[in-house]
Amino acid sequence: MSLFYDNRQRLVSRLKAKPNETRWIPGTFIVLQGGVEVPFNDTDIYWPFRQESFFQWCFGVEEPGCYGAIDVNTSASILFVPRLPPEYAIWEGKLHTLDDFKERYGVDETHYTDEIASVLKEKSAQVLLTLNGKNSDSKLTTRETIFDGIDEFRMDLEHLYPAICEWIIQSSNKTKKPAIYRKDNILYSIGTRVKNGPLKHTISIETDEGMAILYCSDIERLKNTDVEQVLNAMNSGNTDKKVYSMLENKIANEINCRIALQSLRQMIELDSEWTRYRKTSSNAQSSIETINRDMILQQLINLIVKSQDSEMILQGLKALKRDRFSPSTNIYKDRMCNEVMIRATDGELTISQLIRAMRILVNYGNSKYRNCIDMLWVGLACKEQDIKPELLVPLFRSLKYFQRSKDMVQIILEKKLSEQWLKLTGSQMASILNCLYGKESLQGCLSSASKWANVSMTTSTEKDLVNFIGSLRMKKYVNENIEQALARYVTSKGTEMKDPRLIAAIMDYCKDLRIRNPYVLAECGKYFIRHGPQIPPTLLSPIIASFGLLNLQPPDPTEFWKMFDEVISARFSDLKLNDALDSLLSCTYLERYPIKLLDKVFSSYLMNRLQTQRDAPIVNHLKNKLKLFDATMSLECKDYHGSPINLGRNTKSLNLDMRIRGIINKIHKPLAHLVGGEHKLSRSVVLSRLPFINFYILDILVHPLLKSTPVFNLNLHKKRNINTAILIYLPEYYCWNTQFLIGPQIMRKRQVRKLGFRVAHLDYTKLAELVDQDDKLLSYLSQSLDTAENAL
């Protein structure tokens, strides 16, 4: 890169030598902006990149999106390159570091483009010389240099453009023969480490007007070359023509492969343009042109597959994806796909390359090539030891592409996850769990997630925990380790927890999986007391509703309910209707009755929101919640005088749980034997004067009537404790890993007792165990009837 170094020195010297100019003050910098890629219309295809001329003359940089700076007083050069996300490596191969760019382009410093302003400030920059002039041939004005923070510097738009143009014109008039590196320097440039020289990957042909750079593979990729033999020959001084010839052939083959790849890309791009043109004209491609095209494509593909660099094969495979002229399945894709399969099974593809190969084959959109993905599991098995933590997420995401070999790939990934879970972040663990569905949610991955929670939760960021807890909730997975880890986290962090999304995620998780942990709920309740007004409306319901659903009083009830009234009154109109009803019902589960909010609940605004819902099942679900709230307030709150609106009475049949109906059929006769006959039993009894919803259906009613009845006429003035309601509790009616009933079932039992019934309860799981053991079943039923709770 000595040419561009010399150009920079010449430019600085010319600026300093200009007559009638004051001396440049310290902190004066030349700043040049490189070219950017230009998309082809609205596609993801770009026009061939051409570097900005002046930037190329000063720095010789080939990548788009770069900037360069030169200190006018010291001639020090700084190159700024784009900061690419790590996932770019999956598609583009290895990402070059700042040191790579520094060595490659021979500059003094390298930084990222998002650091331009801060770096220049560190250098005490005051004046920036930028381009501003008109090209005498094209009559076009140079593009203005722009970067974040440029307004903080004083700009000089007068001196740089004339100086750089004058020098370029002067140097172009010189005639100088190209200086080509000698053959022994070629050996040095392809990566053979002679003494302490730097590692190069190019062959350079330098002239005063520019430099031609031929890229070649490093010595690792010359796999069929006996590298040791070459090195020994060179070190011993016996570098005869045979050794040079062998290396030259390898280099020539690699150069030919790269030229073929670029030609393939250009040809497909031109074909796309031709295809678009043909659609708008009557021209058609002749058979001779088609034959010529096929011959050229075959020759290009044959050259590419000979490359020792597997990256070239993947680039060729990717290029063919854009071929719109050939049929969806063709010999070119077949040849390239076969080469990928061979190299994968030989263990020549890296893990990142395997992932990219999967995605490219999927994007081909043809089942023939998608089925080839199943063969890649062999390459994955060969490279199993190279699977690093950062590659686990893209590998798990690729799991869905496998069909016949999915089980084998999953075994490999689960094994690596069990070894590397400690090195993952919460977001990475969440991404892995989100990749598993159905039978794929195996205990191996969930067990690793449990271990991660137990060890890493307290040291994780709040954002990572939001993602991790959300994935556990989606998988409906909980165990004692996770519950204890969650309790340790909230108690140790306490007032340090800042993100309301984390509190909402924790409470949503506890609510959906019925985790009744007093420590967790207490700390989240304290957060609500401290930060209630700042919590977004969408996050209020998960935090508030969990207490009622899990039948646990919030911490410091006086302060909690005071904050509840304040926040809900102010935010009621911002709440979703379902969230508002869940929050209000949560209060009633805990025997708190929001009298102050009744005007808002039954307002015309709320009713209008209900009527605007177009989805009938959603409307019915919301109406049932509203009816339950109205009935509960009527039964339990003395200050409630009924709903001001007519909610109606749904007469459609209810969808009763089939498990309850089935178990009732099995215990009906033994139960009838205990109570004195089947005529004293009624099943699935509807209570008159109450909403026709599942909440108010009695599973079994024991009564003194002479005949079974599907509807029981309520009369609160009759003698109490004559009839016995039997409620059957399903597993989901209990809080997880406890015998505590959830809030709705507690309220259901309470209200049935207030209606004058004795209440007995039966556990569904227990009944299912005893249904074939008559004596034990009779004993259990008898005991439940004897311990029935009297009416309130």
644 and 680 within one domain: no
Q: What is the CATH number of the domain that holds 64?
A: 3.40.350.10
Task: Count the alpha carbons within 13 Å of 699 in the hemisphere toward its beta carbon.
Answer: 26
Range of the domain at 770: 658-787
Is residue 459 over pLDDT 50?
A: yes
Which candidate, 472, 459, 474, places its Cα nearest to that of 422?
459
Give the rounded percent of residues in the chain with a pLDDT score beyond 90. Answer: 55
Distance CA 296, CA 285 (A): 16
Residues 677, 726, single domain; the answer is yes
Question: Are residues 637 and 688 both part of a single domain?
Answer: no
Rounded to the nearest integer, the mean pLDDT of the chain is 84
Please determine, for residue 662, whether its predicted confidence score (pLDDT) is greater than 80.
yes
Residue 111 CA, chain-centre distance (Å), reads: 28
pLDDT digits (tens, 9 = 90+) for 593-603: 999 888 887 77
- Whole-angstrom Cα distance, residue 535 to residue 513? 23
Q: How many CB atoms lie within 10 A of CB 442?
A: 12
Cβ pair 581, 629 in contact under 8 A: yes
CB neighbours of 477 closer than 8 A, spacing ≥ 6? 441, 446, 449
Do the domain assignments include residue 662?
yes
pLDDT bin (cut points 50, 70, 90) of residue 178 is very low
What's the average model confidence in pLDDT over 197-206?
Answer: 44
pLDDT the model gives residue 275: 60
What is residue 223's predicted lDDT score, i.e. its pLDDT? 44
Q: What is the pLDDT of residue 731?
A: 96
Which pLDDT value is given to residue 645? 65
Same domain membership, residue 613 and residue 666 = no
pLDDT tens readout for residues 744-781: 999 999 999 999 999 999 999 999 999 999 999 999 99
* Residue 562: inside a domain: yes
Residue with tokens 């007068």: 158
CB atoms within 10 A of CB 172: 10
Q: To which residue do tokens 């796909």 refer?
A: 337
Give the three-class secondary structure for 174: coil
- What digits encode the pLDDT tens for the residues 322-344? 887 788 888 889 999 999 999 99
82 part of a folded domain = yes
Quick check: 429 pLDDT over 60?
Answer: yes
Given this model, what pLDDT does residue 246 score?
A: 52
Distance between CA 577 and CA 541 in Å, rounded?
Answer: 11
State the pLDDT confidence band at 349, using cuts at 50, 70 and 90.
very high
Nearest to 171 by CA among 212, 208, 131: 208
The pLDDT of residue 515: 97
DSSP 771: T
d(CA 47, CA 33): 19
Q: Could you tell me the pLDDT band of residue 34, with boundaries at 50, 70 and 90?
A: very high
The band of 183, judged by pLDDT with boundaries at 50, 70 and 90, is very low
Residue 204 backbone phi and psi in degrees, to 5? -110, 135
Residues 700 and 596 in one domain: no
Q: Are 267 and 297 in contact (CB under 8 A)?
A: yes
Give tens-digit pLDDT for 290-311: 667 788 888 888 889 888 889 9
pLDDT at 587 over 90: yes
- Listed residue (365, 293, 359, 274) closest to 332, CA to CA: 293
pLDDT band at 76 (very low <50, low <70, confident <90, very high): very high
- Asked whether residue 7 falls in the same domain as residue 145, the answer is yes
d(CA 179, CA 2): 12
**Cα separation of 633 and 641, whole Å?**
9
Instruction: Find out whether 334 and 361 touch, Cβ atoms under 8 Å.
Output: no
The answer as to whether 56 is a domain residue is yes
Q: What is the pLDDT of residues 402-420, one digit of tens each?
A: 999 998 999 999 999 999 9
Q: pLDDT, tens digit, for every residue of 484-504?
A: 999 999 999 999 999 999 999
Contacts of 645 (CB under 8 A, 6+ apart): 602, 607
Q: Both 26 and 63 in a single domain? A: yes
- Supply 391's token pair: 């590659």
Angle between helices 241-279 and 287-304 (to 10 degrees): 140
Q: Which contiguous run of DSSP H or E holds residue 80? A: strand 77-81
Q: Give me the amino acid identity at 147.
A: F
609 Cβ contact list (under 8 Å, min separation 6): 577
Query: Is residue 19's pLDDT more than 60?
Result: no
231: pLDDT strictly greater than 60: no
Radius of gyration of the chain (CA): 38
Q: Choose the weakest-confidence range: 285-294, 587-596, 662-671, 678-687.
A: 285-294
Q: How many structural domains is the chain composed of? A: 3
Picking from 648, 677, 692, the residue at the C-terminal end of a domain is 648
- Separation between Cα atoms, residue 272 and residue 278, nearest integer Å: 10
Examine the pLDDT at 397 and tell me if it is beyond 50. Answer: yes
Q: How far apart are CA 610 and CA 630, in angstroms?
A: 16
Place of tokens 């209440």: 759
Could you count the other beta carbons within 10 Å of the beta carbon of residue 167? 17
Q: What is the DSSP string of 649-684?
A: ---SPP---HHHHHHHHHHHHHHHHHHT-GGGEEEE
404 part of a folded domain: no
Instruction: Name which of 348, 93, 293, 308 is nearest 217 in CA terms.
Output: 308
- Residue 195 gets which letter from DSSP? T
Render pLDDT for 107-122 as a digit per residue (tens, 0 to 9): 999 999 999 999 999 9
- Exposure class string for 322-340: b at 16+ Cβ within 10 A, else e: bbebbeeeeebbebbbebb
Evaluate if residue 191 carries a pLDDT over 80. no
Lowest mean pLDDT among 59-63, 316-320, 501-505, 653-657: 653-657
- Angle at the Cα of 183 (from 177 to 187), degrees rounded to 5? 130
- What are the phi and psi torsion angles at 110 (to 5°)? -135, 140
Q: State whether 774 and 683 are in the same domain.
A: yes
Q: 3-class SS at 687? A: strand
Pick the more confident residue, 279 or 755.
Answer: 755
Domain boundary among 648, 677, 694: 648
Does some domain include residue 12? Answer: yes
Tokens of 173: 């008039």
CB 314, CB 89: distance < 8 Å? no
In a domain, 616, yes or no: yes
Give the DSSP per-residue string, 288-301: HHHHHHHHHHHHHH
Q: How far is CA 716 from the centre of its chain?
A: 57
3-state SS, residue 487:
helix
Residue 142 CA to residue 136 CA, distance in Å, equals 11
Token code pair at residue 464: 């990572």
**Percentage of the chain surpassing pLDDT 70?**
83
Point out the domain boundary residue: 157, 178, 209: 157
CA-closest candidate to residue 761, choices 721, 729, 720, 738: 729
Cβ contacts of 624 within 8 Å, gap of 6 or more = 650, 691, 693
The reply to whether 678 and 643 lie within a common domain is: no
Q: Is residue 249 part of a domain?
A: no
Task: Output DSSP code: residue 789.
Answer: B
| 689 and 631 belong to one structural domain | no
For the chain, how many residues are written? 792
Within this chain, do residues 679 and 734 fall inside the same structural domain, yes or no? yes
Number of other residues whose CB lies within 10 A of the CB of residue 55: 18
Q: 292: exposed, middle or buried (C-beta count within 10 Å: 0-12, 13-18, 19+)?
A: exposed
Let me know: does 176 contact 208? Beta carbons within 8 Å.
yes
Same domain, 127 and 15: yes
Kind and range of the H or E run holding 448: helix 443-456
Three-state SS at 13: helix
Judged against a pLDDT cut of 70, whether residue 659 lies above it is answered with yes
Q: What integer is the mean pLDDT of 201-223?
A: 46
Confidence (pTM): 0.68
The pLDDT tens digits of the residues spanning 700-719 come to 999 987 788 888 888 766 78
Lowest mean pLDDT, pick from 461-465, 510-514, 603-607, 786-790: 603-607
Q: Give the phi and the psi of residue 654 in degrees, each rounded to 5.
A: -90, 150
Show Cβ contacts of residue 108 under 8 Å, excluding neighbours closer than 6 positions: 76, 77, 78, 102
Do the Cβ atoms of 778 and 670 come closer than 8 Å? Answer: yes
Q: Which three-class secondary structure state does DSSP give residue 711?
A: strand
φ and ψ at residue 765, rounded to 5 degrees: -65, -40
SS3 of the chain: helix, strand, coil, percent, to 5: 60, 10, 35
**Backbone φ, ψ for residue 734 (5° rounding):** -105, 150
145 contacts: CB under 8 Å, gap ≥ 6: 31, 32, 33, 67, 128, 130, 131
What is the DSSP-derived secondary structure letter of residue 46?
B
Amino acid identity, residue 97? T
pLDDT band at 641 (very low <50, low <70, confident <90, very high): confident
Residue 155 β-bridge partners: 128
What value does the mean pLDDT take over residues 350-364? 93
User: What pLDDT does 173 receive?
Assistant: 53
